[in-house]
Chains A and B, each alone.
Chain A
Amino acid sequence: MRAQFVLSEIGVGLRRNLTMTFAVIVSVALSLALFGGALLMREQVSTMKDYWYDKVNVSIFLCNKTDASTSPKCAKGAVTKQQREQIQADLKKMDIVENVIHETAEEAFKHYKEQYGDTAIASVITPDQMQESIRVKLKDPEKYKVVATAFAGRDGIESVQDQRSILETLFNMMRSVNYAAVALMLLMLVIALMLIINTVRVSAFSRRRETGIMRLVGASSFYIQMPFIMEAAFSGLIGGAFACVLLVAGRYFLVDHGLNLAEQMPLVNFIGWDVVLAQLPLVIVIGLLMPSVAAFIALRKYLKV
């Protein structure tokens, strides 16, 4: 099989269906960009969940030395060992509690560093600024209120937090945006597939003379089908490349510039470039494979070999 011969056949085919090729590229690019966006959104959600997010339901933050001067609830000073042990013992007595974990300030510092890494905030934090806490796993997460009313206001306790309430609204919102993106992606995908099938049909028809002659002189079906599949793969590859550009541009304008969310929401840990770049090969591969498979299936129907 001669590469030059095959390549020139592909070039002719793509030029012949220029508008259709363009439509395929755009729809593949959009569907893949949405697909990549949905993936990135999922990554974003998991970056935002802290160490304890999936492990516990209630966090009881204990007063430390700095809190004693800043927080009115800690007016009586930092938590004592006795107070802490009393809280733990009381928690273990409650039958809605499944598990109680004590996190020291050092551990809190370690987890914080793991999540935020080298960000500006993480670099100024020191271990003694971190709060000691008691993390509680409930048998039924809905029973948060029981723990809250029992412990809020006790000496040595700075606050009792329903672990999920803070992020859950945001996550719910992101989840619905994600669903919308996936739904739109599926729609674009269907459009892309129909365009590819139609392109194959048109180009199989306009090239029926060549393919007929190929068949007569004994070209293998693979050889006859290859230019069509390569055409689809080529449009898919270009579409995939466009999708990658859209994703990179998306992160750039949302986080770094344009909307500049990194500066406006300093407490949120945004996904880094490495996460974005890690998705790109997958986007490209799907961009290559999906149209090729669609073309192959379409050929079985429209091209006699």
Chain B
Amino acid sequence: MIRFDNVSKSYPKQNRPALREVSLEIEKGEFVFLVGSSGSGKSTFLRLLLREERASTGQVHVLGKDLARLSNWKVPHMRRQLGTVFQDFRLLPNKTVAQNVAFAQEVIGKPRGEIRKAVPQVLDLVGLGGKEDRMPGELSGGEQQRVAIARAFVNRPMLLIADEPTGNLDPQTSVGIMKLLDRINRTGTTVVMATHDQNIVDQMRKRVIELEKGRLVRDQARGVYGYQH
């Protein structure tokens, strides 16, 4: 599903590389936490997965494709097989809940009949049935994140990438979101989630990958958040 071979990434005008010789493999259906302090390289790791950036050296394989060899015009097709969720939800404020979810299907040219069927289905799955016509501004943070997850999941991606999805939410709401992500993971979707939330990582007992100053320092099955952070 995901394979990093000796991947380094340096940005221009920065002395220290953001990622240094990271090698790892993530299998299909896994649930992986990506932890580390700010500036440890988590965001760069996720940006490489999405091919927002290319690795400086080494190879990144996602869904069986070498991203360095993937031509620019094929990138959108690759991204259609990924779902993404962010800390700040990234919803369109002038569209309803249903329109926000449908947007992900409209821009890739899905037929209207299919969209009309898929959107209520996925909204039910995330627990927002009946709120199709609400605006994002009328929803709580947790509900907004559920909309974002519905949008990420509506095209049934192979891989869901979540960048601190609970970063703006209170602990109780976070638990709800984690349950939802766990459910999505059980449908066979691989989930990679970057987080700072110690409680969640400790409770879930999933694989934990820790980065520190761009290096992979820990890769632990059924791990915990860490020691002194």
Which residues of A are interface residues toward B (Cβ below 8 A)?
Answer: 1-2, 5, 209-210, 212-221, 223-224
The 4 closest A-B pairs by CB, nearest first: A218-B80, A219-B107, A218-B79, A217-B104
- A213 (CB) vs chain B CBs: closest residue: B90
Whether a CB of chain A sits under 8 angstroms from the CB of B227 is no
Instruction: Write out the residue numbers on chain A whose beta carbons fall within 8 Å of the beta carbon of B155.
Output: 217-218
CA distance in complex: A220, B74 (Å): 8
Which residues of B are interface residues toward A (Cβ below 8 A)?
Answer: 50, 72-73, 76-82, 84, 90, 92, 103-104, 106-109, 112, 151, 155
Instruction: Write out the residue numbers on chain A whose beta carbons fall within 8 Å of the beta carbon of B80.
Output: 217-218
Instruction: Write out the residue numbers on chain B whose beta carbons fall within 8 Å of the beta carbon of A210.
Output: 92
A-B contact pairs, 19 of them (CB 8 A): A2-B106, A2-B109, A212-B90, A213-B90, A213-B104, A214-B107, A216-B90, A217-B79, A217-B103, A217-B107, A217-B151, A218-B76, A218-B78, A218-B79, A218-B82, A218-B108, A219-B108, A220-B73, A224-B107
- B102 (CB) vs chain A CBs: closest residue: A5
Question: Is B77's CB under 8 angstroms from A218's CB?
Answer: yes
Closest chain-A Cβ to B50's Cβ sits at a distance in Å of 8
- B112 (CB) vs chain A CBs: closest residue: A2
Instruction: Write out the residue numbers on chain B whose beta carbons fall within 8 Å of the beta carbon of A212.
Output: 90
Closest chain-A Cβ to B127's Cβ sits at a distance in Å of 21
Instruction: Write out the residue numbers on chain B whose beta carbons fall within 8 Å of the beta carbon of A1.
Output: 109
CA distance in complex: A278, B173 (Å): 68
- B50 (CB) vs chain A CBs: closest residue: A216
Question: Is A220's CB under 8 angstroms from B106's CB?
Answer: no
| A216 interface neighbour in B72, B73, B79, B106, Cβ under 8 Å | B79
Instruction: Write out the residue numbers on chain B whose beta carbons fall within 8 Å of the beta carbon of A215.
Output: 76, 79
Interface centre among A5, A209, A214, A220 (most CB of B within 10 A): A220
Instruction: Write out the residue numbers on chain A whose beta carbons fall within 8 Å of the beta carbon of B73.
Output: 220-221
- A5 (CB) vs chain B CBs: closest residue: B106
| A220 interface neighbour in B50, B76, B112, Cβ under 8 Å | B76
Instruction: Write out the residue numbers on chain A whose beta carbons fall within 8 Å of the beta carbon of B106.
Output: 2, 5
CA distance in complex: A217, B108 (Å): 8
CA distance in complex: A56, B136 (Å): 80
Closest chain-A Cβ to B135's Cβ sits at a distance in Å of 15
Instruction: Write out the residue numbers on chain B whose beta carbons fall within 8 Å of the beta carbon of A221.
Output: 72-73, 76
CA distance in complex: A212, B79 (Å): 13
Question: Is B79's CB under 8 angstroms from A209's CB?
Answer: no
Instruction: Write out the residue numbers on chain A whose beta carbons fall within 8 Å of the beta carbon of B103.
Output: 213, 217
Closest chain-B Cβ to A209's Cβ sits at a distance in Å of 7
- A212 (CB) vs chain B CBs: closest residue: B90
Closest chain-B Cβ to A76's Cβ sits at a distance in Å of 86
- B161 (CB) vs chain A CBs: closest residue: A216
Instruction: Write out the residue numbers on chain A whose beta carbons fall within 8 Å of the beta carbon of B84.
Output: 216
Closest chain-A Cβ to B59's Cβ sits at a distance in Å of 22
- A219 (CB) vs chain B CBs: closest residue: B107
CA distance in complex: A2, B81 (Å): 21
Instruction: Write out the residue numbers on chain A whose beta carbons fall within 8 Å of the beta carbon of B104.
Output: 213, 217
CA distance in complex: A9, B107 (Å): 12
CA distance in complex: A223, B73 (Å): 12
Instruction: Write out the residue numbers on chain A whose beta carbons fall within 8 Å of the beta carbon of B151.
Output: 217
Question: Is A209's CB under 8 angstroms from B92's CB?
Answer: yes
- A214 (CB) vs chain B CBs: closest residue: B107
- B148 (CB) vs chain A CBs: closest residue: A213
- B93 (CB) vs chain A CBs: closest residue: A209
Instruction: Write out the residue numbers on chain A whose beta carbons fall within 8 Å of the beta carbon of B72.
Output: 221
Instruction: Write out the residue numbers on chain B whose beta carbons fall within 8 Å of the beta carbon of A218.
Output: 76-82, 107-108, 155
Closest chain-B Cβ to A205's Cβ sits at a distance in Å of 16
Interface centre among A1, A212, A216 (most CB of B within 10 A): A216
- A220 (CB) vs chain B CBs: closest residue: B76
